[in-house]
Structures are given as C-alpha cells and as structure tokens.
Amino acid sequence: MRNFIQPGDSLAVAVPYAGGVTAGQGVLVGALFGIAATDGAQNATIEAQTQGVFDITKEPALAITAGARVFWDNTNRRITTTATGNFQVGIATLAALAADTTVRVWLNRVPPSGS
C-alpha cells in the first residue's frame, strides 16, 4: 500500500510538561496518550508508545480492580478511576492494592459505556 506510514504503536510527540518527562511516564498531547520511551525536556520530541501493557503510576491510596476502565489525571500525571476531568487511556489488567504505587494498564481507547 503506497500510503502506509507505520504501524502506529509508537509515535513522535513533543513533551508538553514544563518539568519534562522521564522514560516510562505517561504523556498526554491533545487527545494522544502514550508512554515515554526516553527522557525529554519540555518541547523536545520523544517517542511515545501508544499501544501495549504498561505499569503506570497511579493515584495514591486508590485500589483498582482488574478490568476497570482507567483514566489519565494530566494535572497530577497519574492513573485514576475518576472519569470526570480526566482522559480515558485503557483498562487495568491486574488488580492494584491501595498501597501499590503502580497499576498494570492495557492502553486501549474503549467506548465510555459498557457496550
């Protein structure tokens, strides 16, 4: 196919955060969410993985059940189960206890309803 560019599982994005980003952290650029493959200062272009399963920092003291829809809290740069004001990024593949610092997430933009 002549117009194929790439699979899209990794995309170049400009780091939107004043403090930059480190490899393994979530990055939200507009409606595009991914996991930084490398460290980068604000406005630097980095590769972000947009597909796959990742352990991502979660909201402290929040227990998350396996199969729960999870959202990116861009203000605090972490995963939460609170939909309001946050960006849906995928589904928790394993349960996370309140004491855990991360949750395992399958990056997948799923419909907001259960359908």
The answer, yes or no, to whether residue 38 has pLDDT greater than 70, is: yes
Residue ranges covered by each domain of the chain: 7-50, 52-115
Report pLDDT for 34: 96
Distance of alpha carbon 98 from alpha carbon 12, whole angstroms:
33
Query: pTM of whole model > 0.85?
Result: yes
Mean pLDDT of 41-57: 97
pLDDT tens for 50-86 read 999 999 999 999 999 999 999 999 999 999 999 999 9
- Cα–Cα dist 17/41, whole Å: 8
Q: Reduced to 3 states, what is the DSSP secondary structure of residue 67?
A: coil
**With bands split at pLDDT 50, 70 and 90, how would you rate the model's confidence at 115?**
very low
Confidence at residue 111, expressed as pLDDT on a 0 to 100 scale:
58
Q: What are phi and psi of 27, to 5 degrees?
A: -140, 125
- Average pLDDT over every residue of 20-42: 96
Q: What is the pLDDT, as a whole number, of residue 113?
A: 53
Cα–Cα dist 1/80, whole Å: 40
